Structure 1
Amino acid sequence: MSDKKRGLEKSLFSAGGLVLILVILIFVNIIFAHANLRWDTTEDKLYSLSEGTRKILSELKEDVTIKVFYSKDNVNTPVHIKTYAGRILDFLSEYEHYSNGKVAVEIYNPKPDSEEEDWAVKYGIGGISLPTGEKIYFGLVVMAADQEETIKTLDPTREEHLEYDITRLISRVQSPKKHKVGIISPIPVFGQPQMAFNMQNQGQGQEPWMFVTELKKTYDVEEISMSSDEISDDIDLLILLHPRDAGESLEYAVDQYVLKGGNVVVFADPLSISDATGPQQQPKGSSLDKLFSAWGVSMERGKILVDFDYSTKLRTQNNQVEDNPLWISAQGESFNKEEITTAKLESMLLPMAGVIKKADDNAFEYTSLLKSSKNSSLTESFRVRFGAGHLRRDFKATVEAYDLAVRLRGKFKTAFPDGKPEAEKEDAKDSSDEKEDTAHLTEGEKNAVIIIVADADMLSDSYYMSRQNFLGFNISRVFNDNLNFLLNTTEMLTGSEELVGIRSRGTFERPFIRVQELERKAQARWLSREQELVRKVDETNRKLREFEQKKDKSQKFIMSEEQEAEIQKFQEEKRRINKELKEVRRNLRADIEALGTKVKVVNIALMPLFVSLGGISYALYRRKKSLRIEN
């Protein structure tokens, strides 16, 4: 009886234990369902909200509603969109969590002929047409009070900019007022009429440049003429893009704008490829020498940077790929990581850039934002036409990192101590405007910030983005940080610093930095060998010419023994150097392959090995414990 009783108690105990475990699991699931526990192990915290977003969310004045329209029930939705949608919905929950109830996310499934589809169309969210003829919706709208902003299509290729895009809209709907940005440029960056485009066939065609389109999403953008003699006080930021042939009246207007505390971004260029107005016209340079001198900097006209560490691979007219040191692909250490505008930038492309130099008597705050490598030097602009091979021949690194972009801050002094330019004074007299002279400033009333970049082509569309058609939609893919640099700078100088730390928060593509470093070292060795070979060729040719001059007319076509010996010596030397070059290339490939093997071992074999060892250790521990209990 006692055995039956013990069996019954044991059964009840087991059943009660199972029920208790089930109850515990239910409560644990309920608790964790309401907890926001995330562990982002990515280097740049790609799946977590940045400090800038958290600060903006903590200061929200109006409640924000994010309405997501996603056709999740459509079985024909492409897999990559389904995957991306899952990540977006998960990411938006972070906004709800950190906003303390100020942000609410609503998800709608716009089925055909449904009320949700009508709302999606009303908000401007266009449907994506599938090959099957169906439409799927994948966009969102951010609303607060009477303000609303829409992302018509959530583009998977802009995933690294997702947080910025959403946070920017949240900031926008908090206030209806836009900052005003003025742009001055002789290049038609605002687009051209169809007739002008057909007649001149220049610029970016009809459409405005992409950076203008992007700025208009956030700012009130105004085009200012090159002939302007005054900058309006309601301009929050002034951008000068390739100000070639700027007259004194324009320079004076910019000068006075800065002295009033206005912020300026200048993209000067020693040789602008984008400014060639026709097949017969040569690119032109631009600078603001008078203003630069007053601001304590200089940019030498006609001088272009040659940088072999940051060269760009280009295809030549002979369909050969070569590393062109005139097209600067800045990356890594070239960016100032302590500055908010450049801290998280990774790459920029500057074709045919100049350099900025600080004057000895510069009394203002001077900060370098972007530098060249130390394996660089300056060359004359006319040597561009000779190609990269010609530049290698006489290249000598100055062991100096040149400034490509700088920031100046302070109370500046006028570049026009004698007042307005004479032409402007005459105009003022003709119009009987006596107030202009009394309004002349000689010293700054407020601190101003000036950012100068030694290249203007970097803002041309083709140097930072590519276009492709996806399911009938034209999608632009940005492949470097040229545009990010401008947007970061614009936001900083118009007062929205929190957003700067969001946009360039890392990339989902991780380059092999060690491989790139090996290639740069090998390239430096090749360059020295190539220069040695070229010098020997020139020396041999010079000696041959001397031999030819010593010959009589009757010996013109006869080769002396000394010439034959010299040529033979040169050929042997050439074969030796070519052999060394092959050895360098062979060692480079071996180093890269060895590095690749290590990566494969770590990813494929090492982690499973650790897991297996952990499992075996745990099994041995359990076995030893069982043996102790039995004994």
Structure 2
Amino acid sequence: MSPTLTKRLFSKAGLLVLALVTLLLTIGVSQLFKGARVDLTQDRLYTLSDGTKNLLDKLDGKATLQFFYSEGQTRELPFLRNYARRVAELLEEYVLASNGKLRLEVIDPEPFSENEDKAAEYGLQAVPLGGPGKEAYMGLVITNDEDDSKREVIGFLHPDKERFLEYDISKLVYSVVQRARPKIGLVSTLQVNGGYDMMSRQPSGPWMSISQLRQMYEVDDLGTAFDVIPEDINLLVVIHPKELTDRTRYAIDQYVVGGGHALIFVDPNAESDQAGGGMMGGMMMGMGGDKSSSLPTLFKAWGIEMDKSKVLADGTLALSVGSPSGRPVRHLGILGLNEQSFNGNDVITSMLNTVNVATAGAVIQLEGAHTDMEVLLHSTKNAMLMDASLFAMLFDPSSLYKDFKATGVEYPLGVRVTGMVKTAFPDGRPPEPAKAKTGEAGLKVEEEEEEEEELAAEAKVDEDETKPVKELPAHIAESMQPVNVIVVADTDLLTDRLWVQKNNFFGQDIVQPFANNGDLLINMVDNLMGNADLISIRSRGQFSRPFDKVSDLERQAEERFYQKEEELKQQLAETDAKLQQLQATKDGEDALVLSPEQQAEVERFVQEKLKIRKQLRDVQHQLSKDIEKLGIQLKLINILAVPLLITLVALGFRASRRRRQV
């Protein structure tokens, strides 16, 4: 570059022209690549899932996203501000991917403003910040632009639920914008909609899993006694079909054979079933109360069976629970299913991490079945089927191990059944159950005449003779298309205690899932409904990433610690046994005085105890040293590695220029 050109370039006019060119280039590039994103995070935290993009493409209408965030009130809370920024950026991604179907408004509900009144009107939760009159909003309102009555609200976007943020937003957008919600027919003999807990003697609210269904779908409670399932039911969900009438089972059979999809939960020992009723309902299982359910006639027609007298026990998946001794004990009937228990090739289970079940059964395919059975959930090979009676009134879970002997078989506990089937009722609709003919005193009751009158009334037409009474549908002998049914041999997995923890956060109930039971139910329903987009929406990664190496060091130290602790316990047991053996040889007054041998044994144990305790402290001390050493190494890499890399690149570039000049 010549000196004259350099002088002109760095003159005032030249700098002004350079700044103008830079500005124009910046504007041009920003317009040319508007909407372009490069997500370099490991878990692609700022990239929408394909399921969300598909849902946005299929939206029937338009909606407005109103993000209420108290920016002015949270200036001294960087953690909350950073989370709010991430939420706003994710919402912007929704708007960009919606092709104009979504619109975003970021609103700061300042104190005593109209926006604050609007936030309160929507039902958003104001969180106190500690100071007098200081509180903050961070909620989301999604409203259908064509129908203001269709609205979904997240009262407070809790940072602890960030992993599920995309799924929650997509679910609510889908719920608000779609024109007609699919309808689910619900059949349950359990208190899924809330009731009264006999054990705690407290009212119980609706199950969170069922509440989730009601957020996304129209749920019609069909009861437990019906002759036909309405034609507008898109999916039948049956939970604990205990003691259903033949006509009700026939209605379920005809719905499935007629092409309807069904999701059925049965159980050899439903712990939420308050069998027997009354104040002693929770104890009736141990005195003959039946807590099992199955549909043997229908299952046989579908080529499967579930023995309701057997509970699935698994020594590998067993979870720890409390015991009479006060120590945690692994319960062979309460299992934590993990990735090795899921079908990785099915969209329902491929993205799950943990599903907890309790006293579940096993679904087995019958020999010679004409249907296909796909296993969705299964045990490990360290499992067996145990008598359900062993789990009735079980006080000490450790007692199960004396009867446990693994069979080396992986037992299915959740399956999908497809294929052509025949009705389980080849003779047609079962007759009405006969009514009692005599009263308490043995006198004849005139019920035959009443039945005849009722039948005659049902056969009548309306007075205008234009609206005949609706007839029951014709009998269907076999399916015209392959059936699609999912059967799960456990109902307890739907209860709150196995997958959610409820906490009160400034007057608001925060539900924190610790397992994927709810996701499993929604995935099954979405799949049977034919909507797989919501299933594919992954849980977002964590923005706070733990140090895996540090976790490994802590785990190794914990193992060494427990190993030394077990050695100490063993030494204590051996010493106690020797002391008792020496004591047994003494009698009279000598029994109250320690012998030299006993004193030596006690002294030996004390010395050994001090030695092991020192080793335990050394383990903890070494862990701290290892973590500190790792931290120093990371600091050296962060401080020196990048400058060193730049220096090497610069030296290499200089060396190459010298070689070219030579």
Q: Tell me the residue number matched to 1:108.
A: 107
Measured at CA, do residues 7 and 409 of structure 1 come closer, stay the same or move farther in structure 2, by a change above 3 Å? closer
Q: Is 1:13 the equivalent of 2:44? A: no
Counterpart residue identity of residue 53, structure 1: T
Which residue, 246, 249, 252 being the options, matches 1:251?
249
- TM-score w.r.t. structure 1 length? 0.78
3-state secondary structure, aligned to 2:292 = strand
1:154 and 2:157 correspond: yes
Residues 1:477 and 2:480 are matched in the alignment:
no
- 1:356-395 superposed matches below 5 A: 356-384=363-391, 385=394, 387-395=396-404
Q: Residues 148-547 of structure 1: matches in 2 within 5 Å?
A: 148-192=151-195, 197=196, 200=198, 205-276=203-274, 278-282=281-285, 284-384=291-391, 385=394, 387-424=396-433, 431=455, 439-502=474-537, 504=539
Measure, in 1, the Cα distance between the counterparts of 2:405 and 2:431: 45
The alignment status of 1:617 with 2:648, answered yes or no, reads yes
Task: Give 3-state SS (helix, strand or coil) of 1:137's partner.
Answer: strand
Counterpart AA for 2:652: Y
Contact preservation (8 Å) 2:370, 2:421: no
Q: Distance in 1 between matches of 2:507 and 2:47?
A: 32
Cα distance between partner residues in 2 of 1:403 and 1:605: 52
Question: What residue is the counterpart of 2:23 in the other structure?
Answer: 26
Pairwise CA distance, 1:453? 0.7
Deviations 1:113-132, CA, capped at 9 Å, x for gaps: 32322332343334333332
How far residue 393 of structure 1 moved from its aligned partner, in angstroms, is 4.0
CA contact (8 A) 1:297 1:356 kept: yes
Q: Would you say the 8 A contact 1:203–1:274 is kept in 2?
A: no
The more displaced of 311-320 and 384-393 is 384-393
* Residues 261-301 of structure 1: CA deviation (Å, up to 9, x unaligned): 22111111111111135342227111111111111111112
Cα distance in 1 for partners of 2:321, 2:4 equals 83
Counterpart CA distance in 1 for 2:331 and 2:633 is: 35
User: How far, CA to CA, are the matches of 1:438 and 1:102 in structure 2?
Assistant: 42
Deviations 1:558-601 (A, max 9, x none): xxxxxxxxxxxxxxxxxxxxxxxx9xxx9xx99x989x979979
Tell me how far 1:330 sits from its aligned partner. Answer: 0.7
Answer yes or no: is the 8 Å Cα contact 2:49–2:538 preserved in 1.
no
**Does the CA contact (< 8 Å) of 2:242 and 2:293 recur in 1?**
yes
1:436 CA drift (Å): 6.5
- The aligned counterpart of 1:540 is none
CA gap of 1:137–1:413, structure 2 versus 1, over 3 A, is same
Q: Per-residue deviation at 1:620? A: 2.7
CA distance in 1, matches of 2:385, 2:45: 39
Query: Matches of 1:41 and 1:510 in 2, distance apart?
Result: 15
**2:344 is matched by which residue type in structure 1?**
K
Q: Tell me the amino acid that sits aligned with residue 358 of structure 2.
A: P
Q: 2:123 is matched by which residue type in structure 1?
A: G
Counterpart of 1:486 in 2: which secondary structure? helix
Contact 2:306 2:362 in 1 (8 A): yes
The CA distance in 2 between the partners of 1:395 and 1:478, in whole Å, is: 31
One-letter amino acid of the structure 2 residue matched with residue 280 of structure 1 = M
Matched-pair contact (CA < 8 Å) for 2:69–2:108? yes
Cα shift at 1:110: 1.4
Cα distance in structure 1, aligned partners of 2:510 and 2:10: 61
Deviations 1:141-187 (A, max 9, x none): 22332243332222222222221222223223333322221222221
Q: What's the CA shift string for 1:227-253, capped at 9, x where partnerless? A: 333322222222111222223222112
Contact kept in structure 2, 1:467 and 1:475, CA below 8 Å: yes
- Which residue identity lines up with residue 651 of structure 2 in the other structure? L
Letter in 2 for 1:170: V
Decide whether aligned partners of structure 1 residues 604 and 77 sit closer, same or farther in structure 2, where only a CA change above 3 A counts: closer
Q: How many residues align?
A: 557
Residue identity in the other structure for 2:27: I
Question: Contact (CA 8 Å) 2:273, 2:291: kept in 1 or not?
Answer: yes
- Of 360-369 and 263-272, deviating more is 360-369
SS of equivalent to 1:74: helix
Which residue number in structure 2 is paired with residue 554 of structure 1? none
Contact 2:224 2:244 in 1 (8 A): yes
Q: Which moved more, 1:96-105 or 1:331-340?
A: 96-105
Gaps in structure 2 of 5+ consecutive residues: 276-280, 436-447, 460-469, 564-611
Letter in 2 for 1:449: N
Give me the TM-score of the superposition, normalised by structure 2: 0.74
Question: Does the 8 A contact of 2:323 with 2:397 survive in 1?
Answer: no
- 1:42: how far off? 4.9
After TM superposition, give the deviation of residue 92 of structure 1 in Å. Answer: 1.4
- Compared with structure 1, are the counterparts of its residues 203 and 440 closer, same or farther at alpha carbon in structure 2 (3 Å cutoff)? farther
**How far does the alpha carbon of each residue in 1:4-26 deviate from its partner, in whole angstroms, 9 at most, with x for none?**
xx877643334477556644543
Alpha carbons of 1:88 and 1:249: their partners in 2 closer, same or farther (altered >3 Å)? Answer: same
Closer/same/farther in 2, CA of residues 367 and 207 from structure 1, 3 Å limit: same
8 Å CA contact 1:179, 1:220 repeated in 2: yes
CA–CA distance in 2 between the matches of 1:95 and 1:273? Answer: 42
What does 1:3-152 correspond to in 2, within 5 Å? 10-15=6-11, 22-23=19-20, 25-27=22-24, 29-31=26-28, 33-34=30-31, 35-42=34-41, 44-75=43-74, 78-132=77-131, 133-142=133-142, 143-146=144-147, 147-152=150-155
Once structures 1 and 2 are overlaid, which stretch shifts more, 263-272 or 314-323? Answer: 314-323
CA distance in 2, matches of 1:480, 1:348: 6
Q: Is the 8 A contact 2:261 2:528 kept in 1?
A: yes
Measured after TM superposition, the shift of residue 423 of structure 1 is 3.6
Aligned mates of 2:430, 2:167 — CA distance in 1: 44
Quickly say closer, same or farther: Cα 1:298–1:87, change in 2 above 3 A. Answer: same
Identity of matched residues, %: 32
The alpha carbon displacement at 1:37 in A equals 4.2
The 1-side partners of 2:201 and 2:305 are apart by: 28
- How far off is 1:349 after superposition? 0.3
Q: Is the 8 A contact 1:419 1:437 kept in 2?
A: no
5+ residue gaps in structure 1? 1-5, 527-581
Whole-Å separation in 2 of the counterparts to 1:155 and 1:36: 28
The letter of the residue matching 1:11 is: K
SS of alignment partner, residue 329 of structure 1: strand
Aligned-pair distance for 1:398?
A: 2.2
RMSD: 3.9
Residues in 1 aligned to 2:434 and 2:227: alpha-carbon distance in whole angstroms = 11
Report SS of the residue matched to 1:173.
helix
Q: Name the residue aligned to 2:442.
A: none
2 CA distance for matches of 1:249 and 1:608?
76
Bigger mean CA offset, 323-332 vs 85-94: 323-332
Instruction: Flag the 1:474–1:26 CA change in 2: closer, same or farther, 3 A.
Output: same
* Mean Cα deviation higher: 14-23 or 230-239: 14-23
* Paired residue type of 2:245: G
Tell me: CA distance 1:389–1:168, structure 2 relative to 1, closer, same or farther (3 Å): closer
Secondary structure of residue in 1 paired with 2:418: strand
Which secondary structure does the structure 2 equivalent of 1:131 belong to? coil
Distance 1:443 1:10, change over 3 A: closer
- Structure 1, 609-618 or 456-465: larger mean CA deviation: 609-618
Which secondary structure state, in structure 1, belongs to the residue aligned with residue 537 of structure 2? helix
Q: CA deviation at 1:84?
A: 1.5
Task: Give the letter aligned to residue 431 of structure 1.
Answer: L
